[in-house]
Amino acid sequence: MTVIDLSPERARPVLEALTSEALIAAVATRADRAPVVVAKAVADIRSEAELALALLRSLGPLAADLRLLEVGAGAGVVAGVLHAAGARLVAIEPLIGGFDLFAVVRDELTERWPAAAAPIDRRAAVELDPARDGRFDVIFSVNVLEHVRPLHASLDALAAVLAPGGRMLHTCPNYRVPYEPHFAMPLVPLRPALTARLRRDLAADPLWQSLNFITAADVTGFAERAGLELAFRPGVLTGAIDRLAGDPAFARRQGWAGRSAAALGRAGLRGWLRALPPSWLTPMVFELRRPAT
């Protein structure tokens, strides 16, 4: 069986091109942004891409004839790696919610690494249609589902294009926990949207406006509604603590919360954290399967 090569060696050229000084300078000029701002943005993009590739590897060897759907392709880094590896991939990215820099990064990246020039469909998840798009064996996303709108209709659209025997793998915040990772701040418990009444600057922020505050309960309800088998992966919080030590971009984004989580790990509470139900922790990683028959 021919499999898709997702090895770190396969991804290294595009990841190194992504964070090169030449790309940062070119993006800064085209987007009229300070180089230090662009450097942070591409470090974040690289961090998320590495996480996505690690999650895909966790599914085991993926046959080259499988159809893959990436939801929220961003700057196209993971799509580029998969495209260069010969995967049968469809990548969608509507570029909303303050992520306009992605398009500039993608253009500059593919100039430097043409093999990464994967086609990206500028559609939202809710627009997926099995009559037009067919069905997919693997659907995945990294920190995207908290931005899809409308949430339930978008999830239903993903289920509609999942093939019999197919799998979905997603990671995103779980807003059961009153913490917002993009802004590294606490939220009003149970009513996170009300946080904007306490911080007036959030109301006009396109990133804040894009959030749907998805919870594990939304995921559970979706799985039941769509007839999918659901499993939340354990150990995600302890994995995030480990990531804080090895991923500077991720640690920077988490601010005080990241420092607090790291302190819990240093205090020897990892075993206690691992025992907590994964559906009550953030972030959450979950896998959905459609029965083969």
Identify the pLDDT of residue 256.
53
69 φ/ψ angles, rounded to the nearest 5 degrees: -125, 120
User: 28 CB contacts (<8 Å, ≥6 apart)?
Assistant: 34, 35, 37, 38
Half-sphere exposure of 237 (CA within 13 A, CB side): 23
Percentage of the chain exceeding pLDDT 70: 85
Please give the sequence-ordered ranges of beta strands (E in DSSP) within the chain, or none if there are none: 67-71, 88-92, 120-121, 136-142, 162-172, 179-180, 185-186, 229-232, 284-289
pLDDT at 57 over 70: yes
Residue 124 lies in a domain: yes
Residue 26 lies in a domain: yes
Question: Rounded mean pLDDT of 190-208?
Answer: 93
Residue 3 lies in a domain: no
Pairing assessment for the beta strands 185-186 and 179-180 based on DSSP bridges: antiparallel
Residue 1 lies in a domain: no
CA distance 132 to 109: 30
pLDDT at 82 over 60: yes
Of the two residues 253 and 153, the one the predictor is more confident about is 153
Identify the pLDDT of residue 96.
72
190 in the Ramachandran plot: left (φ > 0), alpha (ψ -120 to 50) or beta? left
Residue 209 lies in a domain: yes
pLDDT band at 186 (very low <50, low <70, confident <90, very high): very high
Total of domains in the chain: 1
Flag the least confident range among 110-114, 141-145, 163-167, 181-185.
110-114
Alpha-carbon torsion angle 58, 61, 67, 68, nearest 10: 20
Percentage of the chain exceeding pLDDT 90: 73
**Residue 116 token pair:** 């990464």
Residue 172 lies in a domain: yes
**Residue range 245-289, pLDDT digits in tens:** 555 665 565 555 556 555 555 655 555 566 778 898 999 999 999
DSSP per-residue letters across 79-97:
HHHHHHTT-EEEEE----S
- Which domain, by its residues, includes 176? 8-288
pLDDT band at 115 (very low <50, low <70, confident <90, very high): confident
In terms of average pLDDT, the best of 8-12, 33-37, 267-271 is 33-37
CA distance 122 to 95: 7
Residue 45 lies in a domain: yes
> Which 3 state secondary structure label does DSSP give 234?
coil
Residue 138 lies in a domain: yes
CATH of the domain at 227: 3.40.50.150
Identify the pLDDT of residue 235.
67
